Amino acid sequence: TYKAVILLGGPAKGTRFRPLSLDQPVPLMSIGGYPLIFHHVEACAAVPGMREIILIGYYPKDQLSQFVDECQRKFGIRMRYLQEFTPLGTAGGLYHFRDQIMLGDPAAFFVMNSDVCCDFSLADMLAKHRPGTYTVMCTEATRSQSVQYGCAVIRKGTDEIMHYVEKPATFVSTMINCGVYILSPSIFQYLKSAVKVHKDAHFTFDLSSQCNECVQMEQEVFQPLASRNCLFAYVTTRFWSQVKTAGAAIYANRHMLELYRTSHPDRLATAQSIPDGPKIIGNVYIHPTATVSPTAVLGPNVSVERFVTIGNGARVRESILLQGAVVRDHACVLFAVLGSSATIGEWTRVEGTPTDPNPNKPFAKIETKDLFNEKGQLNPSCTVIGSHVSVAPETIVRNSIVLRAQRVGSQLQKPNYP
């Protein structure tokens, strides 16, 4: 039997996702109409012999309980959220909860970063996994982008990882760590020694400092394990992307909708599936509770969440509309994420700039640029309208991040649009 662990991180993470991450944990960001980690759970639940899926993070429990309940019901699989009292790092959490993970003696367990979106193909990965070893999903990146990831030098033929460096200062390899692993139970002996080495190195008499608990899988376990004939790569050429920004969410959304064409065609809206519905172009997801005018035009690559309202003559393209968002008549939304209950006024135009990978460079990944460039200007990116923000009618909002409508007393003040 197998288990799976999804590393969620916590509220300190997801800064590049603000303001969307202020309302909701980043792992629950909607991609293709479902929370980002729903796709992880779905992939794990499909692995034969999967016993339990464990989520580890430092978000408050109540922020995940509904998600856990819904998934358990939908997939009929045991799921739990285990909360870290303080960030323990990508290895520290696994070690801390080792008894829970090993309960029931799984032959191996999957470990996944929550902030990736991909065509998991876990059954194939499992088929290539050698019992007793550790398998790391890898994919090719460009020379210049590879250094923003964990880099693995792989021996041709055996796929053994000979050398591993996490976010190297100079070029090491174009093969990068996808943040998806299959680990044999013997990993805990290495986690134990990594935790010990870490504690000895960071020992302090100051008991209030809990930082010495934060142990990283990549630097403190994979780096020393490389070339010891137990760390192997599973190289994927399928879709894979990190999801750390709203622009990356729009990019991942597009690919997830495309994957639905073969995996879940029923999730895509068509003229047949919504009679008297809007005009649909390309891949579009519309939650059954959304209200969309028949004269609206949606797509390609649009996800419409529950209780969204889209008015007459509205145009939405390459965008994610979160729960309860309202697009009033004749408004236009392009390359944008509308936060929950955001309202776009009549004839208003909300437009962003795509931050897609360079299509002319093979293996290019999405750039997770900082919000501002070195001159202090906002880098052009997709537009994000924060939750509950209302944009006035007949307004143009381009390449902007609108945080929040400010409430002063009980009066709702109109935000200043940049």
- For ligand GDD, which residue of 52, 84, 258, 305 counts as binding (CB under 6 A)? 84
Compute the least distance from the CB of residue 65 to ligand GTP, in Å: 40
Q: Does 332 bind ligand GTP (CB under 6 A)?
A: yes
Residues 90-129 that bind ligand GDD (CB under 6 A): 90, 93, 113-116
Contact 68, 15 (CB under 8 A): no
Out of 2, 3, 4, 7, the only residue in the binding site for ligand GDD (CB under 6 A) is 7
CA separation for the pair 381, 366 (Å, rounded): 12
Question: Which amino acid would we find at residue 104?
Answer: G
Interaction residues for ligand GDD, span 212-231 (CB under 6 A): 218
Question: Which residue type, as a one-letter code, is found at position 36?
Answer: L
Nearer to ligand GDD, 164 or 285 (CB): 164
Q: Which of 133, 139, 145, 177 binds ligand GDD (CB under 6 A)?
A: 177
Using an 8 Å Cβ cutoff, are 324 and 341 in contact?
yes
Evaluate whether 64 touches 84 at the Cβ level (below 8 Å).
Answer: no
Stated as kind and residue range, the H or E segment containing 195 is: helix 187-201
- Residue span binding ligand GTP (CB under 6 A) among the ranges 10-18, 71-79, 270-278, 313-321: 313-321
- Please, which residue, 243 or 269, has the CB nearer to ligand GTP? 269
Judged by beta carbon distances under 5 to 8 A according to partner kind, the member of ligand GDD, ligand GTP, none in contact with residue 90 is ligand GDD
State which of positions 339-398 bind ligand GTP (CB under 6 A).
349
243, 25 Cβ separation under 8 angstroms: no
Return the number of the residue (52 or 84) whose C-beta is nearest ligand GDD: 84
Query: Inter-axis angle of helices 187-201 and 89-96, to 10 degrees?
Result: 120
The one of ligand GTP, ligand GDD, none whose footprint includes residue 218, by CB under 5 to 8 A per kind, is ligand GDD
Q: How far is the CB of 322 from ligand GTP (least distance, A)?
A: 20
Residue with tokens 């009980």: 410
Residue 199 Cα distances to 36, 56, 89, 136, angstroms: 34, 21, 13, 26
Which is closer to ligand GDD, CB of 84 or CB of 160?
A: 84
Does residue 334 contact residue 314 with C-beta atoms inside 8 Å? no
Q: Does 89 bind ligand GDD (CB under 6 A)?
A: yes
Peptide bond before residue 278 is cis, with ω within 30 degrees of 0: no
